[in-house]
Amino acid sequence: MCNAATSTFIRELSLIRDDTFATARAYFTYKAIHAFGAESKENYHVLNRHSIFWNITLYSLQNTFFTCLGRIFDQKSPHGIDTLVRTAQENPGMFSTKALSERRKGNFRTEAELNEYVGKAYVPTAADFRALRKEVAAKRKIFEEKYRDIRHKVFAHKEVVEDDERRALFSKTNIGEFEELMEFLFNLEAAMQSLLDNGDDPSLAAHRWTFFEDVKREAKDDLRAMLQGEKKE
């Protein structure tokens, strides 16, 4: 049975996962629609036949990925990436070999197998969590300097309505940088889940996960599969 700290950690991890996947799926679907329309005149006309629908879809997708990213980095919210890492840092006991053994004891046939597995577990130190918080702070700085005002002033509130003001906000953005932010969040969530489930080293440099690339590919493939019928009409 989980204690209160572990339950909080699991809940926050689930919330981060949901918002991270929502951000990436919305962003890459948005990007895939633009790429599809730019490939050929035929593709452009496929989208243009239902232009109102696709314009609303694009706006909704853009709203989604800025809103979800904002929730993750929001320090005023009781939930988010700060709560996740702080809960882990303040409750290191949940990552002890004893706690891991308790969580995994139903997955092994014998106690000897369980002990061998737990004996290989990585027990994180305070330095590990300080390093993670430092990485989170660096990514939040990027979000706050370049993306927070878009979320707050364009999508959450109508503070910026003039085209030149909107262009000024969006001119600060960078596609590669934005995708690095999302990939960081995917890797952090996976590292925390792997630490809890398997006792793996939480260092982001210690692993390479494919979730980010999987979502990127799926968004493109799903859109094209959906639009193939439109091209034949």
Q: In the prediction, which pLDDT does 200 show?
A: 93
pLDDT tens digits for range 144-159 = 999 999 999 999 888 8
pLDDT at 124 over 90: yes
The number of folded domains in the chain is: 1
Task: Render pLDDT for 39-54 as a digit per residue (tens, 0 to 9).
Answer: 899 989 989 999 999 9
In which domain, by residue range, is 99 found? 4-232
Mean pLDDT over the full length of the chain? 90
Query: What is residue 1's predicted lDDT score, i.e. its pLDDT?
Result: 47
The model's pTM is: 0.88
Closest CA to 172 of 154, 184, 195, 188: 154
